[in-house]
Structure formats: C-alpha cells, structure tokens
C-alpha cells in the first residue's frame, strides 16, 4: 500500500506540474511545438491544480496531515526536478530561434565550460535530493492503525481497530516488568457513545481488575500495560468498553494476533 502511495503521488505530481507547464505560453509552446490556445491554457491550469490538490489530499488521508504534507512536498520536488531535466530532451519543442552571433571568447583550458558545470551541479543535487528523501521515507513507519497487521473487530455495538504502537519486543520498565503500548480507534459515531475503554492481559476477574484505561484523543486512544509473567501464546487481550449509558461490553483478541513479537519474546525468556 505504501509503495503504491509513493508511486501514485509521484505520478499525479508529475501530471499536475506538466499540465501547469502546458498552461503557460513559454512552456506550452515548448511542449506542443506551437502556441497553445487560451482555452487550452485555462483547461490545463485547472487540471494541473486539481491534480496537485488530489495528491495532497491523498497523502493526508493515508498518513495524517504532518507526514502527508511532507511526503507530498518531497515527491513534488522530485517531480519538478525530473521535468526540469526532461524538458530539454522534449522531442516536439520548436526550433531554436536564431541569436545574434557574439564575439568568440578565448578558450580557457584550465576551466570546465559553465553550462557543463551547472548541469553537473544540478545532477548531483537531484541525486542527493532523491537519495535523502527515499531514506527519510524508509524511516517513517506508516500510521499504526492503518497497518495491515491492525486488528479490526466489534465490541457490543461499536466497531474498533486495535494495534500495538511498536512491533518490537516489550520494553522493560522498573523492576524489569515488561510493558507494551497499544492504540485503539472506534468509528466516529461510536466515539460519541463511549465513556471509557480499558485493556489488560487475560480475562478480568471483576470490575476492579478491568485493566488500564486508554488515554488521549478519543479517535486514537493509547494505553501502556504491564505484561504478566504468565503470558503465553494462548493469552488474550481483554477490552472493556463502558458506554455513556452505563452499559459494559467486553471482548477478547488473541495476543499473538496483535503482537506476535511479544509472544516470541516470552517464549525466548522461558527457554533461557
């Protein structure tokens, strides 16, 4: 999904910038080999801005505002540089206008011609920009509740999505107690009906042992819970959801399904 998103943003940005270039007199003539009509310029301008807006909206929808905008700007820069280097090779550009001859300069064997230097510098900058941006994208973890390993289910009348915050082994806290952080999100209409959500490993014995409460924005709650030493591959995460009407609903999800690394870690601790 992320690969498709990156490729899609690049392609849409390329098409958007190409349309905006076509909407100008200078680059329109360069691309068409003739001066574009006013109607064509207007249409290309509208299409270009719509495509760029579409790419931006897609990035924000998939990866939230911060990461989505940064990714859009990055691919927009790569698309712009790609067009800059491809325009001089465009096959249908008009013939170069004749220019008045200038007095020839004496060649300086100790220096490289300025145009060549500029091209070399631009090529290096393009390579560096693409490399840095690709490395930065590789370090960004996709929004956890949209990952393919996120668990989707239903508790009572409410739909939810549950995922571990980090796919690594549990973190050892004070007294070497392993902790794990989880995030949960309910549908927007469900959120309006929910007062509190709690989570723990294994089934609660009574209302006082329902576990740790989720905190944070209601559409993306987070909770960090201790993991008991008795945790096994058969352990379950129990969710307790309390509605604003006082109703209580519980549901269980296999821990191995939500956090396989946690189960693997406990198995290694027992074998050591």
Mean pLDDT to the nearest integer, 216-242: 88
Mean pLDDT of the chain: 81
* 232 DSSP 8-state letter: -
Higher pLDDT, 159 or 175: 159
Residue ranges of the domains in the chain? 2-95+119-139, 144-271
| 162-218 residue pLDDT tens | 999 888 889 888 788 899 999 999 988 888 899 999 999 989 888 788 889 998 876
Q: What fold, for 144-271?
A: Immunoglobulin-like (2.60.40)
Instruction: Give the up-direction half-sphere exposure of residue 44: CA atoms within 13 A in the CB hemisphere.
Output: 20
| 79-134 residue pLDDT tens | 888 888 877 777 666 555 555 566 566 555 455 455 666 667 666 766 666 666 56
Q: How far is CA 86 from CA 17, 28, 80, 158, 265, in A?
A: 13, 14, 10, 53, 52
pLDDT at 250 over 90: yes
Q: Which of 174, 260, 192, 180 is nearest to 222 (CA)?
A: 180
């Amino acid at each position: 999904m992320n690969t498709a998103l990156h490729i899609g943003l690049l392609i849409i940005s390329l098409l958007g910038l190409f349309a905006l270039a076509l909407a100008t007199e200078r680059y329109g003539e360069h691309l068409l080999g003739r001066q574009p009509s006013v109607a064509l310029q207007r249409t290309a301008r509208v299409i270009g801005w719509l495509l760029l807006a579409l790419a931006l909206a897609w990035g924000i929808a998939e990866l939230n505002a911060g990461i989505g905008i940064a990714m859009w700007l990055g691919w927009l820069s790569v698309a712009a540089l790609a067009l800059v280097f491809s325009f001089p090779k465009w096959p249908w550009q008009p013939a170069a206008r004749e220019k008045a001859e200038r007095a020839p300069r004496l060649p300086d064997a100790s220096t490289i011609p300025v145009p060549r230097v500029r091209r070399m510098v631009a090529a290096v900058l393009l390579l560096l920009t693409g490399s840095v941006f690709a490395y930065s994208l590789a370090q960004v973890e996709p929004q956890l509740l949209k990952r393919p390993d996120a668990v989707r289910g239903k508790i009572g009348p409410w739909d939810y999505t549950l995922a571990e915050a980090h796919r690594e082994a549990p973190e050892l806290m004070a007294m070497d107690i392993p902790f794990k952080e989880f995030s949960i999100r309910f549908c927007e209409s469900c959120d309006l009906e929910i007062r509190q959500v709690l989570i723990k490993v294994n089934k609660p014995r009574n209302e006082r042992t329902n576990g740790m409460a989720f905190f944070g924005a209601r559409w993306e709650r987070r909770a960090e819970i201790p993991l008991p030493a008795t945790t096994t591959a058969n352990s379950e995460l129990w969710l307790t959801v309390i509605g604003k009407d006082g109703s209580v609903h519980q549901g269980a999800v296999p821990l191995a399904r939500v956090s396989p690394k946690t189960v693997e870690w406990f198995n290694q601790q027992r074998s050591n």
